[in-house]
Amino acid sequence: MIKLPYNIHIVDIINWSIRCTGSRLNTTSSNIRHLTNVATISFVTTSILQVIAFYFAKENIEKLFECFSVLSFCGMGLLKLMSLRWKSHQWHHLLNQVQKLESAQIDAGNIDFVHSIQSYTIKYQTMSTILSRMYVFTGIIYILSPIIEFAYLKLNGDDPVYPHILPVWAPLDISTFGYLATVAVEIISAIYCVCVHVAFDLSSVSLMIFICGQFSLIRHYSENIGGNCKNLCISGENDERARCYIRYCHQTHNTLINSIRELEKLLKDILGIYFFLATLTLCSVAVRLNMETLSVTQLISLLQYLCATITQLFIFCLYGDAVQHKSSIGMGEGPYGAAYWCLSPKVRRELTLLAVGMSRPRQLRAGPFHVLNLPSFVQILRTAYSYYAVIRK
């Protein structure tokens, strides 16, 4: 894994993660472009073969649940890849807004701005490390599990079936070369699928952390609109200073609201599908744990896949919930906590309008039925358990 430097900005982190998928072909070398094209073709091919295997497994309930669990993960990878490639202009525009806002704050030389930026920079660097390591660990365990199990059974004198990394329809298994070619394509697809998930999830979560950090920044900044309260006399100089603060807070707040809207357009449909598939995936994994007799390697692979799915779902809901709460202010916060008695009546009205605008919470939606917050996370777990209870009976 590449270690990101400490002082890197959010856009650099996102560009680094997206570049690993080859989605920004104009910024990658020809060798990387060719590799990502091969990986994309392999990924699409194995996804089609998984759909065929899923259709043929309709009479075998155990095989059906196994195919569905992996197919849902790879299917979400395809949707995320299409978003990164087909909606690259929307991603670029959003990242440009982020970069301009952060660069302007750094260039201003305000020590409070710098401290706020450093604070949430540490947060999304930490989260980027957690997400990438979680996906890499999950991918490694999933790829190695069938190979380790095959080697163990072979050493014990059994005659196991040659393993596949993904549950695909494999018509080429009639020859050794065909089998090896199929497994090689499966390994490439699995690795590339992990890279796509890392790029999309890291980009989305990093933008949420940025938005939360910026809302906290303007909340603290707007508390100083009225000055330090030492001078109780209303003056034109203090009013002009307050207007500059109000103008900056209003512009920054509008930029953040537009960023939330653009981010929601990029995430809403994909996360809506993901919430539905995650519910079914959790249910299918629980059914397999209850119904099937699993080997140790299969059990380890299934449990870590279950934990990774829950963790991924929790992270999205956690930071969506943070955006919802950080985007609004309460009494005594932000403009409500400013020294309004030091301002003229006209500036007080402007301060009131700013406070009202900053009081409204903003939400990120996941499809038409869910809001990206922690109650939705609990609801998905409850729904998955309900499905599992019905199927078990």
pLDDT digits (tens, 9 = 90+) for 298-345: 777 777 778 888 888 899 999 999 999 998 888 888 888 888 878 888
- Would 4 be classed as within a structural domain? no
SS3 assignment for 335-392:
HHHCCHHHCCHHHHHHHHHHHHHHHCCCCCEECCCEECCHHHHHHHHHHHHHHHHHHH
Report the alpha-carbon distance of residue 69 to residue 114 in Å, rounded: 44
357, two tokens: 């605008």
Whether 330 is in a domain gets the answer yes
Number of domains comprising the chain: 1
- Cα atoms in the 13 Å half-sphere on the side-chain side of 32: 12
Does the pLDDT at position 24 exceed 60?
Answer: no
3 domain residue, yes or no: no
Domain presence at residue 366: yes
pLDDT tens figures, 30-57: 666 778 888 889 889 999 998 998 888 8
Residue 2 lies in a domain: no
Give the predicted TM-score (pTM) of the model: 0.87
Q: What are phi and psi of 371, to 5 degrees?
A: -105, 140
- What does the alpha-carbon distance between residue 361 and residue 344 come to, in Å, rounded to a whole number? 28
Instruction: Tell me the C-alpha to C-alpha distance, in Å, between residue 385 and each of 114, 226, 382.
Output: 46, 53, 5
pLDDT digits (tens, 9 = 90+) for 179-217: 899 999 999 998 999 889 888 988 899 899 999 999 999
- Position 6 confidence tier, pLDDT thresholds 50, 70, 90: very low
- What range does the domain containing 337 cover? 10-392
HEC assignment per residue over 91-148: HHHHHHHHHHHHHHHHHHCCHHHHHHHHHHHHHHHHHHHHHHHHHHHHHHHHHHHHHH
Is residue 335 a part of any domain in this protein? Answer: yes
Residue 251 belongs to a domain: yes
Local structure of residue 162 (DSSP, 8 states): P
Smallest Cα–Cα separation from 366: which of 328, 324, 320, 325? 320
| Dist. CA 50–CA 48, nearest whole Å | 5
Residue 48 domain flag: yes
- Tens of pLDDT, residue by residue over 216-255, are 999 988 888 877 666 666 777 788 888 898 999 999 999 9
Give, in order, the Cα–Cα distances in Å from 168 to each of 25, 43, 183. Answer: 29, 12, 10
